[in-house]
Structures are given as structure tokens and as C-alpha cells.
């Protein structure tokens, strides 16, 4: 199946343009936009890991290594589209317009972190595996029934393809030809389980065959390969062509979360030969004459200032109230949870 679904690539590890047909599609504006967003979410990710290690936010799932996949996919969306992320896709959320302070607040346990900016269709990060696929298919079906051109994207990892929700979502999307992008980030591991133990299939892309869904497999560390594949998929979705399954082959550089130790399950040296997607973009910028030192420095300074301001704003909020966990799931709290909440509040009062 790797022959049927070859890895699409625009630039190689050294930043060389290997798909010459794409040269006319690459503009200075697109290159600089890619760099801005990839550097921005990389810097956010590093800051979040540092904050967690200092005890200033809770357990955090790093996405370092997946910047090209997240930025390349999110930049291809339009203002009124829907984005359904996993717990590792806050890079895509930020690129699509999520507020940075609220994103930090999410990882600090505050309800405000689940609220998107006014008018943005960004769902809270889905921690249960694959549930967001059904949500995305449903939202895109609603848009189709309303007669709009809006689409939905569902992000998920390779482990999600083992869930029933994945297959139910693909089947529904296929039957009703919903305008859905099913965006898989195959980052090598489903927590501690390597790809080859997660499935016997050689690719995720081939799973679209059973549902008659067009599928493509791209180099997920190549911003341009992801972006142009997404553009094609979104055009198809907006013009009645139905869903697309995209497998972006990437790499999770660090741990599954800050509570995880990947040395327990990853062999020594694995992944060391994978070129960082931001470095690959920087090499391309230098090779193709897009490198602008003034732009680079001003971009970095602006982003670092934005992140410092967002952290200060996040820490200006009162600490999250643990009792909030009881109040925002059910319209009417079941009796069992009413008793649990009362017991908890009594404990707080020292009764």
C-alpha cells in the first residue's frame, strides 16, 4: 500500500524543492506566514513545557515536531470553517485563531480555556480518543444541509484509527458525502505503542478505501506538502466532492505528555534522523532566497513578547476551583454527583 499511497513531498530534508511544479504556488507571503506560525507555536510549546515543570500549569502534551502538519492544515481553512482538535492540537487551534491566553488557561484548569473567540468555530480539545471525528462529521453535515460552503476538520492520531468512532465517522461521512477533512497526524506512537503494533496496515491512508473516501499520504514535516494537499481537499469538500482522509506522516519529538517517560518504550536513537520541520523550512528559505534577517528577528521578538504577555494574563486569573468539575457536564446534576459535590465542599470547609 505504500506504493499506492506514496509520501507526497514538496521540499526535502535539506530544504531543496523536489516538486518543481509547486514552485509557482510558493510565494514570499506564504513562506513568511508559514514561518511566523510555526515559530509561534514552537515557542508556545516550549514555554508551556517550562511552565509545567515549574508547577505553573498542569500536565501538558507537547507537539514539538508536528508544527508543519498543524500549521499547514490550519492555514488552509477559511474563517467560518470548523476545527475539532485533540489534546495535542493547540498549535492548529492557535493558527486558526484561538486566543493564546485562553489556551494557557485550558492547561491551567480554568473553564475559560474551553471558550473560543467570538465567531470562531473551534471546539475544546477532545481528550477521549476519536470522539471528535463524529462531532466534525456532524457539524459538516449540518453545514451541507444549510447550503453553506463551510467545512470541518477533525484532527486525530494513529491510535484513533483503532476506535469504533473512527470507522463510524468515516462511514457516515462517506454515505452522506459530508464536507469533512479527516486529518491524521501519524506521529509514530500511540502513547507507548509504535505504529507497527497499532495496526497491520502499512498506511493510515489506505483505510479510506473501504469507505470510498479519497485519501492522500503526505510528508507531515513538509509545510508545503501539507498545505497544498489541504487546499485540494478543501476545494473538493466545498464543491460537493465529499470528505478526504489525509495521513500526515510526522514525528512526536518528545513525550506523550509531561507525565510520560518515552525512554521506557522508545529504542535509543530512534527519530534522531528526522529533520525538524522548522529547520527544514529555514533551509528552504535560505535556498530559495526567502530568508530575511530583519523579518526573522522582528518576528521572533514579537512572538516572544506575545507569549510573555499571555503568561502574565493567564497567571492574573484566580486559581481554578476544583468544584467546577461538577457543574458543567450535566444540565441537572445526578443525585450521586450532588452527594459527591456536597462531600467535597464539606471537606473544604473542614467539616
Q: Which residues are catalytic?
A: 252, 256, 265
Q: In terms of DSSP bridges, do strands 193-194 and 215-219 run parallel, antiparallel, or are they unpaired? A: unpaired
Evaluated on CA atoms 324, 325, 329, 331, the torsion sign reads negative
The helix or strand, by DSSP H or E, that contains position 227, with its residue range, turns out to be: helix 223-238
107 contacts 99 by C-beta, under 8 angstroms: no
Q: Grid coordinates representing 200?
A: 497491520
> What number of helices (H) and strands (E) belong to the chain?
11, 8
Bridge partners, residue 180, by sequence: 152
* End-to-end Cα separation, the chain, in angstroms: 64
- Let me know: does 198 contact 184? Beta carbons within 8 Å: no
Report which secondary-structure segment, H or E, holds 67.
helix 67-74
Q: Please, what sign has the CA dihedral across residues 248, 254, 260, 264?
A: positive
**How far apart (Å, rounded) are the C-alpha atoms in residues 326 and 166?**
29
224 vs 73: CA distance, rounded Å: 10
Give backbone dihedrals phi and psi of 11, rounded to 5 degrees, phi first.
-125, 145
The partner residues of 301 in beta bridges, in order of sequence, read: none
CA distance 93 to 41: 10
Q: Dmax of the chain from CA atoms?
A: 73
Q: Are 226 and 73 in contact (CB under 8 A)?
A: yes
Asked if residue 156 lies in contact with residue 173, where contact means CB atoms within 8 angstroms, the answer is no
Dihedral over Cα of 16, 18, 24, 26: its sign: negative
Amino acid at each position: 500500500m505504500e506504493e499506492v499511497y506514496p509520501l507526497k513531498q514538496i521540499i526535502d530534508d535539506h530544504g531543496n524543492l523536489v516538486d518543481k511544479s509547486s514552485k509557482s504556488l510558493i510565494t514570499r507571503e506564504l513562506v513568511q506566514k508559514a514561518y511566523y506560525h510555526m515559530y509561534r507555536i514552537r515557542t508556545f510549546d516550549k514555554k508551556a513545557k517550562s511552565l509545567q515543570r515549574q508547577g505553573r500549569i498542569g500536565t501538558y502534551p507537547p507537539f514539538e515536531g508536528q508544527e508543519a502538519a498543524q500549521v499547514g492544515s490550519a492555514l488552509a481553512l477559511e474563517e467560518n470553517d470548523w476545527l475539532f482538535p485533540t489534546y495535542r492540537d493547540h498549535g492548529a487551534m492557535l493558527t486558526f485563531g484561538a486566543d493564546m491566553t485562553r489556551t494557557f488557561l485550558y492547561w491551567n484548569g480554568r473553564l475559560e480555556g474551553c471558550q473560543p473567540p467570538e465567531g470562531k468555530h473551534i471546539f475544546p480539545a477532545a481528550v477521549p480518543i476519536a470522539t471528535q471525528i463524529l462531532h466534525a462529521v456532524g457539524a459538516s453535515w449540518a453545514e451541507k444541509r444549510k447550503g453553506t460552503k463551510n467545512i470541518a476538520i477533525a484532527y486525530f492520531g494513529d491510535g484513533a484509527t483503532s476506535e469504533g468512532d473512527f470507522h463510524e465517522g468515516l462511514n457516515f461521512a462517506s454515505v452522506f458525502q459530508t464536507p469533512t477533512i479527516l486529518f491524521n497526524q501519524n506521529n509514530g506512537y500511540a502513547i507507548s505503542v509504535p505504529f507497527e503494533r497499532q495496526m497491520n496496515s502499512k498506511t493510515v491512508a489506505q483505510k479510506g478505501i473501504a469507505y470510498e473516501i479519497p485519501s492522500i499520504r503526505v510528508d507531515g514535516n513538509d509545510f508545503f506538502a501539507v498545505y497544498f494537499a489541504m487546499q485540494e481537499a478543501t476545494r473538493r469538500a466545498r464543491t460537493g466532492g465529499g470528505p478526504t482522509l489525509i495521513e500526515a506522516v510526522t514525528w512526536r519529538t518528545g513525550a506523550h505528555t509531561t507525565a510520560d517517560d518515552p525512554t521506557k518504550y522508545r529504542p535509543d536513537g530512534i527519530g534522531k534522523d528526522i529533520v525538524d520541520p522548522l529547520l527544514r523550512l529555514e533551509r528552504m528559505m535560505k535556498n530559495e532566497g526567502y530568508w530575511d534577517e530583519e523579518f526573522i528577528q522582528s518576528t521572533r521578538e514579537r512572538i516572544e513578547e506575545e507569549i510573555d504577555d499571555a503568561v502574565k494574563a493567564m497567571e492574573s486569573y484566580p486559581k481554578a476551583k476544583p468544584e467546577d468539575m461538577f457543574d458543567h457536564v450535566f444540565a441537572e446534576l445526578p443525585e450521586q454527583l450532588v452527594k459527591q459535590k456536597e462531600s467535597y465542599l464539606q471537606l473544604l470547609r473542614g467539616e
